[in-house]
Structures are given as C-alpha cells and as structure tokens.
Amino acid sequence: MIAKQIEIRSNIKKYFDLAYEGDAVIVPRKENKNVVIISEEEYSRLNEIARLSAYSDVAQGRGTDMSRSSDVVSSSVKADNLKKLDAIARLKDDWNGNGAKAFEKSFISRIQKLIDQLQIQPEIFPTALQTIQLEFDNSRRDHMEIEIGDDKTAEIFVVLYNGEEYFDHVAVTANALNRKVAQFYE
Amino acid sequence: MNDTFAGDEKLYRAVFPPDIAQMYWRKDGTVSSAAFADPKGLSVDRGNYKNDREVLTDMSTRFIGSILRIYVKNCVDIGCLIRYLPSGKNPYHSEIHGSDRAVLLSKQQRYYLSKKAIILS
C-alpha cells in the first residue's frame, strides 16, 4: 500500500494499525527518499531472514554475494553495533555505579574490527567485567553468548530451545568466530 | 527488615549506565544477561512488600534510569545468595551473590535472571 505523508499525518493510527496487521505502508518522498512502515514482528522476521541468508552465504562461500535486501539489513545492524561500541568506549570509570572501570580504547578498537568482519551480526552488550558480550539467537530459539575479554580465546555459553546448556570456547579471530556462528545457525 | 528473605519478596535492580539504559535492552524487548554481571556483587533494593509504584518513586530519588524487578524465589531457585546490606543512604540495599563462596553470578544464573526480570521503567 502507498500512502502520502499528509494522509499518514492525519490518520496515523489507521496506518500504524495496518502495518501492525501485516501491511507494508510505503511513503513516497522527494528525491526517492521513500520509507516503509512495517510492524515490529515483520521487522524481526526480515532480520531473521537476513541472518539466515548471511549464514547460507557463509556456508556456500558467497560471503560478498548477499542479496541486496539482506545486505542492507545486515549493514544497518553492523552500523548500529559499531555505533554502540563507540558509546561503550565513552563510558567513564564507575559507569555501572559500582566501580566498573572504563574500557580501554585499544580493546574497543579490536572488538570493532571483529564486528566489522562478522558475517552474521550479534547483539552486543558491555559487562562490568570489562568484557563485551555478543548474543545470537537462531530460528530454533537457541541462544548463544560469546564473552570476549583480553584473552586470545572467548567463552561460549549456549542455551538450546529445550533448556539444555553447554559451554565451549573459540579463538578470538574473525574466521573462528564466523565458523562458530555459522555452526550455530545450521 | 531483617536479613532473611522470603521467596515472594521482590527485588529491584537499577540498570546502569543511567543515561543509556538501552545499552542492555535486546531487540526482543528483554534485558541482556550482561546486565547481571558484577564482580563486586549485584546491587538491588529489596521491596519489603511495598508496591512497585512506591518502590519506583523511592528509587528515583537515588537512581536515574531503568528499573528491573525479580523475585527472591528466582534467585534462590538457581542457588544465588541474597545479602541484606543496608547503608546510611539506602536502607533497602542488598546484593545478590552467585553463592556463599562466589560473588559473581555464573553465566547460567545471569541468563536465568535475565529471563525472569520484568522491566518496570
């Protein structure tokens, strides 16, 4: 469905409801700077497709040949992650109100380089242990956390959809991380 | 208040950094387990059976940012130890420890609590 900005402004609830019910509302703008309104559920579904597509490309050795839509979504998630790492780098001593130290700039740079090379983008979080936690969730609803610190290896914690848990380790290199993540999405 | 905690008492955790609480919000609307990692002990306010609104009002005088709620039972179920450590500024201050020998929560404990936590503000 296509709707002009003026129509949306005066009937915003109607268009949000349509998007929530599954319609994609395309809003044309000058110079083709169009936007699309979709539901959060649809947005999550597209992200999942992008992740799976990226996995498929990794598995088939087509790391740089992703479909345009997957590429756009992955790039956007990567850009968000790099921006978040910038914010983490700006945290000062005692950022958690309980004495956590600021992150070393060199450590954050190292993580940024890794994130830049990951073919499936995680959600990333700082910890008060001065580590960065990468989180992945696949379509089976398994959950994987990789906690990266100063060591050359990182600990992996996985909770499967049925509640089973296991630990693993991975070398902190882009290649090793990409392989582990690809296995998780198999 | 004494140093015993019943399973149905609520515990409230202020999520830092206060100006960027979204730092720990996952895209599915839950909180990351990373918010439960603190080598110095996971600080919480005990609810003392007050309602959430009262607690939030009270905590807002000491913290800026988002507040999570869990139950004592959630902690006990996974072997955590809760210590009542009131301070001059905060009579409700308590800490969740991994056990009586480990302050830091294990990865399983952090994950479990993150799944049980309710984001209140």
For B10-25, the pLDDT digits (tens) are 999 998 776 676 789 9
Measured between beta carbons, the chain B residues lying within 8 angstroms of A126 are 23, 34
Q: Does B89 touch chain A (CB under 8 A)?
A: no
- Rounded to an integer, the average pLDDT of B38-42 is 95
- Around Cβ A66, how many Cβ atoms within 10 Å? 20
Q: Quick check: A180 and A171 in contact, CB under 8 A?
A: no
Interface of B with A in 27-46 (CB under 8 A): 27-28, 32-35, 37-41, 43
pLDDT at A22: 79
C-alpha closest to that of A53 among A111, A115, A120: A120
pLDDT at A66: 45
Write out the E strands in A32-122: 35-37
Give the strands of the sheet with B10-15, arranged side by side: B81-84, B93-97, B42-46, B10-15, B66-71, B118-119
Better-scored residue on pLDDT, A132 or A29 = A132
- Rounded to an integer, the average pLDDT of A18-37 is 82
Domain count for chain A? 1
- Rounded to an integer, the average pLDDT of B16-38 is 86
> Is there a cis peptide before residue A28, judged by omega within 30 degrees of 0?
no
- A128-172 pLDDT tens trace: 999 999 999 999 999 999 999 999 999 999 999 999 999 999 999
CB contact under 8 Å between A125 and B32, yes or no, is yes
Global pTM?
0.76
Neighbour-count burial of B31, counting CB atoms closer than 10 A to its CB (0-12 exposed, 13-18 middle, 19+ buried): buried
Measured between beta carbons, the chain A residues lying within 8 angstroms of B63 are 97
A49 belongs to a structural domain:
no
Q: Does B17 touch chain A (CB under 8 A)?
A: yes
Q: Which long-range contacts (CB under 8 A, 24 or more apart) does A55-59 make?
A: A55/A119, A55/A120, A55/A181, A55/A182, A55/A185, A55/A186, A57/A119, A58/A119, A58/A120, A58/A178, A58/A182, A59/A182, A59/A186
Q: Which residues pair with A25 in a beta bridge?
A: A37
pLDDT at B55: 93
What residue numbers bound the domain in which A84 lies?
Answer: 68-184
Supply the mean pLDDT for chain A. 86
Better-scored residue on pLDDT, A23 or B78 = B78
Please tell me the total number of residues recorded for chain B in this structure: 121
pLDDT tops 50 at residue B94: yes
- Rounded to an integer, the average pLDDT of B88-98 is 94
- Rounded to an integer, the average pLDDT of A167-186 is 96
% of chain A residues with pLDDT over 70: 84
In which band, very low, low, confident or very high, does the pLDDT at A60 lie, cut at 50, 70 and 90? low
A29 belongs to a structural domain:
no
- B79-92 pLDDT tens trace: 999 999 999 889 99
pLDDT at A40: 79
In which band, very low, low, confident or very high, does the pLDDT at A24 lie, cut at 50, 70 and 90? confident
pLDDT tops 50 at residue A64: no
In which band, very low, low, confident or very high, does the pLDDT at A35 lie, cut at 50, 70 and 90? confident
CB contact under 8 Å between B107 and A129, yes or no, is no
CB contact under 8 Å between B40 and A47, yes or no, is no
pLDDT tops 60 at residue A65: no
pLDDT at B60: 86
A27 belongs to a structural domain:
no
% of chain A residues with pLDDT over 90: 56
Nearest CA in chain A to B95: A98
- A86-119 pLDDT tens trace: 999 999 999 988 899 999 999 999 999 999 999 9
ipTM value, please give it: 0.91
